[in-house]
Structure 1
Amino acid sequence: MLELAPPALSTDATLTAALCAVDPVGLGGVAIRSHAGPLRDAWLNLLKSLQAEGAPWLRLPHHATDAALLGGLDLAATLQTGRPVAQRGLLARADGGWLVLAMAERCGANVAAHLSAALDHREVRLQRDGLAHTAPARLGLVALDEGQGDDECLPATLLDRLAFHVVLEPANPMDDAPVFTPAEIALARAALPTVQVPDELVQAICGAAMAWGVASLRAPHMAVRALRAAAALAGLSVADETHASIAARLVLAPRATRLPAPAEPQQAPADEQPPPSPENSRTEEDALDRTKDDAPAVPQALEDQLIEAMQAALPPGLLAALQSGEQHQARARAAGTAGALQKHAHRGRPVGTRRGEPRAGARLHLLDTLRAAAPWQRLRQREATPNTRRRIEVRREDFHVVRHRQHRPTTTVFVVDASGSAALHRLAEAKGAVELLLAECYVRRDKVAVLAFRGSGTELLLPPTRSLARAKRALAALPGGGGTPLAQGISTALELAQQIARAGDTPVTVFLTDGRANIDRHGNPGRAQATQDALIAGQAFALTGLQALLIDTSPQPADAARELAHAMCAAYIPLPYAGAAGLSQAVLLAQSTG
């Protein structure tokens, strides 16, 4: 069978692998954002071929337990010897090599904390199961991120400790990627401690990081480590501007959060300025001499060179986001992808064990129970009589049960203002936006409910359901016109949201209204009393702490809607002249930050 050649890697991807191989511990590692496939396998094989001979290469599942990471009690050896025997975890076994974290976007906070501590201290400290042990853990981490969007990404605490953030893409046919051999990497690794970095390069790296809004203090430090590794790879003992540009492009550019400020206007040429007097010239020369003696300035040309190198490395999507003022680093998880976390005795994902008895559906964890009992066997055997002596004595205080954690389902409640003012303004656009959001909820398998208020009361068009067809039919049949009983709409939505919360789901209430009420809570007309009742109902909603969003559907941002959102402690989104697609995107963005 004909074997296909591995796909070609880009210059930046190849250079990243080489730099990681030269200084794996100092750079921390790399976050690879790519789906599983030949391209990612080619990069991993390249890094593995360049690592030190005999260095460990271990894989770590994203759901690894503390015992798998840190080590713990060797149950078989402890029961055999009658004394606690420690077992090495993955962090200690990966010392001097690489640890590959699969599906890193699903990495839990516990695993991320242990990995971050190992990258910081370069050792693993074990204090569990009656053991106290410290082992070296000088390793590099490869985090394989298979997330679909910005809402699925590595924990920030772990991402900050990895020097390189790489999005693997097929190489450009015109891209001439360098080729490195294990022998070249070994020579660069040996020469790395002797490489010198001039102070002006360090200051330029820091200046470029500030210009692009890189807030992490680790980033400039790792960029300096990267430029030292690049100089060692080039066989030089002193780093120069070329290596600084490589470090800025590979380390700092993926962390950019804003565009650099425009350059200050240059001063007029010397021939256009009035000639200084001799006394002023002498004073200026003395001032310049004192400035040179105090602290030399960073060469602006070098800093500008690094800023341009970072801009050239930015992907078009990120550059457009920075130009529009968005900070791509704030990747919050969209509401609806998973509701609030809750503990459960026997449902959900296992997340460890705890001491306890297997009651009310809780399941006994046999291995952790034996681990808790193992260190006491010699003492218990000594206390037991010949008639009561057992091979393994387990007591009630040794019992460990499994802990589970599950995400509460999310139910999105759409509260639509179908009164005359809303129908006059943008009821059709609101319907279109709700239909788009219904489709998003259907993909996430969330429940949706549709509540409308018009005339003198409210109507539950659709109770919580996952049926997209029913939701669309209920929304299409919604007529417009009549008064605006806003207070009743808020109160009814609050009752429905509380029912959803009592049922175990996470309610997210989305109000689509212009905020203008003219029917009070008793059904009587009157704008002043209706507005006051709406604010009171909004304050009652705020006291529950439930998540809410208010979409101002009036042609221009209205003070009434803004005041109502403030009373409800809800996110306020004014969308003048926005279509259904823009309204849908704004609601999803507000949900992600709520």
Structure 2
Amino acid sequence: MAAALLAVDPTGLGGAVLRAPHGAARDAWLARLRGLLPAGAPWRRLPPNAPDDRLIGGIDLAATLATGRLRLERGALPDADGGVVVIPMAERLTQAAAGRYAAVLDTAEVTLERDGATARWPASLAVVALDESAGEDERVPPSLTDRLALHLPLDPGSAMGPGPDESGVAAARAALGEVRASDEVLLALCEASLAFGIGSPRAPTLALRTARAAAALDGRRDVVEADVVLAARLVLAPRATSLPAAPEEAPPPPAEEPGDADGGPPKDGSDLSEIVVAAMRAALPAGLLATLASALRGRASAADGRSGAPVKDGQRGRVLGARPGPLRAGSRIALIETLRSAAPWQTIRRRASGDHARPVLIRAEDIRLRRHEARSGTTTLFAVDASGSSALHRLAEAKGAIELLLGDCYARRDRVALVAFRGTEASTLLPPTQAPARARRCLAAMPGGGATPLASAIDMARALADAERRQGRQPLLVLVTDARPNVARDGRTGREAGEADALSAAALLRAAGVSTLMVDTAPRPHAYGRALAGALGARYVPLPQADAAALSTVVAAARSA
């Protein structure tokens, strides 16, 4: 049914996010959609890393050099005008690439302004983003999914059921402009969006378009309750981020007056809203809300690849494009972009120089250099309080959390380090490593007991973070402590000196710009713990009853943010 709805109003619905691995079920869904589109409708399949000149267009280098005049060529998006663009592995789209598609969906045209050329082409199309991500930490960028009406999880083992045929879809497409929806329908969709925590104003609009397409497919000219319920399930339910509040018990209805028993007015907007909310609640898959909350918590850049800050203009990584600049040692010339820059000037240069022997005349200002962006890795630095009576169970929790994170860090090419502090000093038990076996050996031998030299631990963590930054990696410090320091930097014992030095060390760490998560494991979190987190500029998480799984979850969320 979803494929038929999209075929009825491709540009109105914007497209679909199809979450499914490569397989027969996904291919069958795409084949059905393509078969229901108008004859001759363009169908383009574009990789997630397609460059701008492939998407938008640019200078036709061969034609420009042959004629001596600027010639432009259209990209794949204007070529797909009136059709559908399919993006496999869409979870790998960068924010910039998603923005290109979003702009086309918003304006139904492509604007080319580059290399001294300006052009506009119509590009009224739909996008099918194939989400092949295996985990919850990868998602298609929200800037694109917000504009795609249908979000469809597809079971690889499912079979396609019967649906409308091509003639039925064509008739619905022709009659779509005559389908009407009442104000109560729009009100019900808006209220359902608010009830389920959907903040985007596009969601109820896309749901309304879906309801109109459903009515057209059923041969009706008015949107009815069944159309609204279907639209809510397909468009609104996958976007839900919270459950609606339980409704208050309504007072009993007044006794019916004589003569009122023969029917009554149709359902008003409030009744329809309740029906839509109930339908959405029933349509929510198990665990969907937790999944969406995790995705919204900090994966704005999930599609940009693994964690770490972008490092631009290096010699490795994804090619961002080209920029003008002088040639230096290690620079890499973007040949095509350089020729494009030089092409419009060939006739003038030949006349000025009289040089007709060389095929292309290149000047220094034509040189374009490649721009690269690589993702720096992330190093998670655990600084764990191994002091006193709390050492045994706190160390067990830290060990368990690191064990849970090691596999994930190894897959992401991230590193883990461990600093333990007790007695009069802190020590690096596990230097930054990607080796799981080495990490496990160090964890097994971690000692415990003694006083709390918190200032020394923060200083040591800052030194490790600086070393990781010099190697091009982004450090994240996870400080696990009950925030009761009693040892100063110089080894003197005493609560007052220990707390003062810890705050001083925290200020230095914050000035160094190290991202920090402070997990307060005190049975009763106290004011000094919050003050220390403020001095660190850290996210403060009190977990008095933390276990390994809870600690691992908190750290993973902080790394993703």
TM-score range, shorter chain: over 0.9
**Rounded Cα–Cα distance in structure 2 between residues aligned with 1:448 and 1:320:** 27
Q: Which moved more, 1:88-97 or 1:495-504?
A: 495-504
1:472-525 superposed Cα distances (whole Å, 9 cap, x missing partner): 222221211111111111111111111111221111111111111111111011
Structure 1 residue 365: Cα displacement: 1.4
**Rounded Cα–Cα distance in structure 2 between residues aligned with 1:53 and 1:580:** 57
Amino acid at match of 2:431: P
Residue 445 in 1 paired to residue 413 in 2?
yes
3-state SS of 1:316 partner: coil
Amino acid at match of 1:341: P
1:314-337 superposed Cα distances (whole Å, 9 cap, x missing partner): 101125668xxx475435268993
Match of 2:539 in 1: 571
Is the Cα contact below 8 Å between 1:345 and 1:362 reproduced in 2? no
Structure 1 residue 572: Cα displacement: 1.7
Q: Which moved more, 1:430-439 or 1:36-45?
A: 430-439
Match of 2:325 in 1: 356
For residue 90 of structure 1, the aligned residue among 50, 58, 76 is 76
Q: Which moved more, 1:460-469 or 1:431-440?
A: 431-440
**Rounded Cα–Cα distance in structure 2 between residues aligned with 1:61 and 1:118:** 17
3-state SS of 1:266 partner: coil
Cα 1:328/1:341, change in 2 over 3 Å: closer
**Rounded Cα–Cα distance in structure 1 between residues aligned with 2:222 and 2:255:** 40
Match of 1:225 in 2: 209
Residue 60 in 1 paired to residue 46 in 2?
yes
Match of 1:488 in 2: 456
**Rounded Cα–Cα distance in structure 2 between residues aligned with 1:445 and 1:53:** 47
Number of positions where the alignment pairs a residue of Structure 1 with one of Structure 2: 551
Amino acid at match of 1:22: V
Amino acid at match of 1:33: R
Structure 1 residue 300: Cα displacement: 1.6
For residue 462 of structure 1, the aligned residue among 405, 412, 430 is 430
**Rounded Cα–Cα distance in structure 2 between residues aligned with 1:344 and 1:132:** 27
For residue 562 of structure 1, the aligned residue among 523, 526, 530 is 530
Amino acid at match of 1:19: L
**Rounded Cα–Cα distance in structure 2 between residues aligned with 1:33 and 1:320:** 17
Match of 1:529 in 2: 497
1:146-186 superposed Cα distances (whole Å, 9 cap, x missing partner): 1122221111111111011111115778xx94422111111
Match of 1:514 in 2: 482
3-state SS of 1:52 partner: coil
Cα 1:303/1:146, change in 2 over 3 Å: same
Match of 1:102 in 2: 88
3-state SS of 1:237 partner: coil
Cα 1:554/1:440, change in 2 over 3 Å: farther
**Rounded Cα–Cα distance in structure 2 between residues aligned with 1:268 and 1:188:** 44
Q: Which moved more, 1:338-347 or 1:422-431?
A: 422-431
For structure 2, which runs of at least 5 residues remain unmatched after alignment? Answer: 257-265
Taking structure 2 as the reference length, what is the TM-score of the superposition? Answer: 0.94
Computed over aligned residues only, the root mean square deviation of the Cα atoms, in angstroms, reads 2.3
Match of 2:334 in 1: 365
Match of 2:14 in 1: 28
Residue 125 in 1 paired to residue 95 in 2?
no
1:229-256 superposed Cα distances (whole Å, 9 cap, x missing partner): 1111011111111111111111111111
**Rounded Cα–Cα distance in structure 1 between residues aligned with 2:205 and 2:505:** 53
Match of 1:394 in 2: 362
Match of 1:7 in 2: none
Cα 1:424/1:171, change in 2 over 3 Å: closer
Is the Cα contact below 8 Å between 1:336 and 1:410 reproduced in 2? no
Structure 1 residue 421: Cα displacement: 3.9
Is the Cα contact below 8 Å between 1:188 and 1:232 reproduced in 2? yes
Residue 73 in 1 paired to residue 59 in 2?
yes
Match of 1:330 in 2: 297
Structure 1 residue 261: Cα displacement: 1.8
For residue 207 of structure 1, the aligned residue among 169, 174, 191 is 191
Cα 1:34/1:532, change in 2 over 3 Å: same
Structure 1 residue 298: Cα displacement: 5.0
Structure 1 residue 389: Cα displacement: 5.2
Is the Cα contact below 8 Å between 1:447 and 1:465 reproduced in 2? yes
Structure 1 residue 297: Cα displacement: 11
Structure 1 residue 304: Cα displacement: 0.7
1:330-373 superposed Cα distances (whole Å, 9 cap, x missing partner): 35268993211111432122111111233221111111111111
Cα 1:424/1:374, change in 2 over 3 Å: closer
- Identity percentage over the alignment? 50
Match of 1:276 in 2: none
**Rounded Cα–Cα distance in structure 2 between residues aligned with 1:459 and 1:336:** 33
Amino acid at match of 2:474: T
For structure 1, which runs of at least 5 residues remain unmatched after alignment? Answer: 1-14, 273-295
For residue 305 of structure 1, the aligned residue among 269, 275, 280 is 275
Q: Which moved more, 1:221-230 or 1:199-208?
A: 199-208
3-state SS of 1:500 partner: helix
Match of 2:261 in 1: none
**1:199-278 equivalent positions in 2, closer than 5 A:** 199-270=183-254
3-state SS of 2:297 partner: coil
Is the Cα contact below 8 Å between 2:115 and 2:341 reproduced in 1? yes
Residue 478 in 1 paired to residue 464 in 2?
no
Q: Which moved more, 1:536-545 or 1:176-185?
A: 176-185
Taking structure 1 as the reference length, what is the TM-score of the superposition? Answer: 0.89
3-state SS of 1:445 partner: coil
1:14-69 superposed Cα distances (whole Å, 9 cap, x missing partner): x1100100000111000111111111111111111111100000111111111111
Cα 1:566/1:250, change in 2 over 3 Å: same
Amino acid at match of 2:120: T
Is the Cα contact below 8 Å between 1:514 and 1:558 reproduced in 2? no
Residue 189 in 1 paired to residue 149 in 2?
no
Match of 1:590 in 2: 558
Is the Cα contact below 8 Å between 1:336 and 1:444 reproduced in 2? no
Q: Which moved more, 1:487-496 or 1:568-577?
A: 568-577
3-state SS of 1:511 partner: strand
Is the Cα contact below 8 Å between 1:381 and 1:390 reproduced in 2? no
**Rounded Cα–Cα distance in structure 1 between residues aligned with 2:255 and 2:120:** 70
3-state SS of 1:162 partner: coil
Is the Cα contact below 8 Å between 2:425 and 2:457 reproduced in 1? yes
Cα 1:516/1:425, change in 2 over 3 Å: farther
Match of 1:280 in 2: none
Structure 1 residue 562: Cα displacement: 2.6
Match of 2:401 in 1: 433
Q: Which moved more, 1:247-256 or 1:463-472?
A: 463-472
Structure 1 residue 469: Cα displacement: 1.7
**Rounded Cα–Cα distance in structure 2 between residues aligned with 1:298 and 1:519:** 69
Cα 1:183/1:331, change in 2 over 3 Å: farther
Amino acid at match of 2:536: M
**Rounded Cα–Cα distance in structure 2 between residues aligned with 1:321 and 1:378:** 60
1:401-428 superposed Cα distances (whole Å, 9 cap, x missing partner): 1111101111111112111143165322
Structure 1 residue 579: Cα displacement: 2.0
Cα 1:172/1:505, change in 2 over 3 Å: closer
Q: Which moved more, 1:125-134 or 1:57-66?
A: 125-134
3-state SS of 2:402 partner: helix
**Rounded Cα–Cα distance in structure 1 between residues aligned with 2:481 and 2:351:** 76
3-state SS of 1:30 partner: strand
**Rounded Cα–Cα distance in structure 2 between residues aligned with 1:170 and 1:450:** 42
Match of 1:379 in 2: 348
Amino acid at match of 2:164: F
**Rounded Cα–Cα distance in structure 1 between residues aligned with 2:556 and 2:524:** 21
Q: Which moved more, 1:130-139 or 1:349-358?
A: 349-358
Structure 1 residue 189: Cα displacement: 0.6
**Rounded Cα–Cα distance in structure 1 between residues aligned with 2:532 and 2:125:** 54
**Rounded Cα–Cα distance in structure 1 between residues aligned with 2:289 and 2:317:** 40
Structure 1 residue 268: Cα displacement: 4.4
3-state SS of 2:419 partner: strand
**Rounded Cα–Cα distance in structure 2 between residues aligned with 1:300 and 1:450:** 57
Amino acid at match of 1:554: A
**Rounded Cα–Cα distance in structure 1 between residues aligned with 2:289 and 2:118:** 49
